[in-house]
Each structure stands twice: as C-alpha cells, then as structure tokens.
Amino acid sequence: MKKRYLIDRSSRSVIFILALASFAVLVAIAVFTLKEALPALQKIGLLDFLLGREWRPTNGQFGILPMILGTVMVTLGAIIFAVPLGVGCAILLAEVAPQRVRLLLRPAVQLLVGVPSVVYGLVGLVLIVPLVRDVGGPGLSLAAGVIVLTAMILPTIISISEDSISAVPRSYREGALALGATDWQTMWRVVLPAARSGIAASIVLAIGRAVGEAMALVMVIGMATAIPLSPLDPARPLAPSIALETSYATGLHRSALFAIGVVLFVLIIIINSIAIMVMRRGGHAQNVR
C-alpha cells in the first residue's frame, strides 16, 4: 500500500510539472510575440493597424483590414460547406452505415487528419485552381482557398461529431422509436439535440484550425492585399501573410508581422475558450440527465 501511495503521488507530481511546463511555454510564446510586436503597435497605432486598408511595408503602410476580412471570408466559407458534410458523414458512420462500410471509412477519415497541409495545397494547386480558372478569374482565389480549407477541416468535424453521436445513450433512441417516431425523426429530434454540445465543439475547433492555416492557403488563395469582392478574387488571410513574408522582413516590417501573430493568438485563444466552455456545458448537461 505504501508503494502504491508513493507511485500515485509521484505520478500526480509528474503530471502537474508537465502541465505547468506546457503553460509556461504558452506564456513564454505570448510574451515574446507581444514584446516583438510592441514597436509596430506603438508606431503604427492599434486602430490604424487593424483598420488600415493598405499593406505596403516598403512604403511604411501596415494595414491588415483586408487580411482580417480575408481570414473571416475563407473561414466562414469553409465552415458553411464543411459543417453539413461533416455532420452528415458523422451520422452515416455512427448510425446508418453497415459495419463493413464503417471499417472502410473511419481509417480514411483518420488518414485525412494526418495528411500534411502542404499536400492539400499541392492538390488544390493542381486540381482546384484550374477548375476555378475555367469558371473565371485568375484561379488563385478565395473560392480555391475555401475548397481546400473545407477538405482540411472535415476530419475534425467528422471525428468529434461521430464520437458525440455515438455517446448518446441507446435508451434515447429506443424511447423515441417506442413512441412511434421514425428513424429520421429519432435522429433529427432526439439524437442530434443530445449530441449538440459535441458537434458545436467540433465546429469551434475546426474554426480554430481554419484561422491558423497557412501553407495550403499560400499555394491556392492568391495572396493579394486587396479586399476580395467576389469568390473568384484572390485574398490574403493573416496566417499565410506571416508565412510568406517572415523570411525577408526586417525592422518595423518584422515587428508588424509579430503584431499579426498577436491578432491570431488572440483569435485562437477566444476560439479555444469557446470550445472549452461548450464541452464543459455539454458534460454538465449529460451529468444532469
């Protein structure tokens, strides 16, 4: 018993130290990024930086409003397409598909999670961009970015939503069917509402990944600093801008890129906080039930 007590206490101490180290790394990254961004924020001004429309480092113009709008547009477009596809695939895997189909589709979804983002970008550059170019415009566009980003965030939505749907107690389904509900009514009116917290968390986490994606979008979205007026226009999100310019930026330009990193950092923290609150709320609701 004494040996078991020592092992348990040592394990708790190790886990606490590891968690503390992770938190320390996060704080160090935040402090370093903010420190490097302060010169740009002080010289440019926060409002001019966030609301400026021109990004021309050689002329001393550092406005990231087109980048913010580009990030919002490409993320919103990807979510609009990915949510119904992802939730539908999760329903298929959890409720409808035979066992043989599940054994085939689940590894495929897991494989998509492990595919590097640059591979998505390469496939989009070779396949998606020419198709968009046939419709109109230069091909490297917001539409191409939305399609590639949709493919990238689908596995996140599918995996978490499937787990949430599978976690709904069997008694919920049996009770609905016993009351005369059809399979579709049971799924739409009982199972999905019971799993909504997990589905919402998957969507929030997918948004977080979409906001921070860089390499794939660099290859397909065009990277123009103007505000896109149509899906066929090129755009320039925040994260790809850092990836594209950080290798040669110096002085105020480099500090401005760190300021973009601060904006992204804040967005990711907000999104992850929302995801945590949603998951906690879902867990509390399940405990109440």
Torsional sign, CA 65, 71, 74, 79: negative
Has residue 288 got a pLDDT over 50?
no
**pLDDT of 282 higher than 80:** no
d(CA 43, CA 26): 26
Residue-level pLDDT at 78:
93
Query: How far, in Å, CA of 223 to CA of 151, rounded?
Result: 20
Q: Which uninterrupted H or E stretch holds 62?
A: strand 61-62
pLDDT digits (tens, 9 = 90+) for 192-240: 888 888 888 888 888 888 888 888 999 999 888 888 888 899 999 999 9
Helix (H) or strand (E) holding 55: strand 55-56
Residue 279 has pLDDT above 80, yes or no: no
Are 118 and 163 in contact by the 8 Å Cβ rule? The answer is no
What structural domains does the chain harbor? 49-288 (1.10.3720.10)
pLDDT range class, residue 182, cuts 50, 70, 90: confident
Give the pLDDT mean for 89-109.
Answer: 86
Residue 30 above 80 pLDDT? yes
Confidence band for 1, pLDDT divided at 50, 70 and 90: low
**pLDDT band for position 130 (50/70/90)?**
very high
Q: How confident is the model at residue 148 (pLDDT cuts 50, 70, 90)?
A: very high
Per-residue pLDDT reduced to its tens digit, 247-265: 888 889 999 999 999 998 8
Q: Average pLDDT for residues 158-174, to the nearest whole number?
A: 88
Percent of the chain with pLDDT over 90: 31
Better-scored residue on pLDDT, 247 or 84: 84
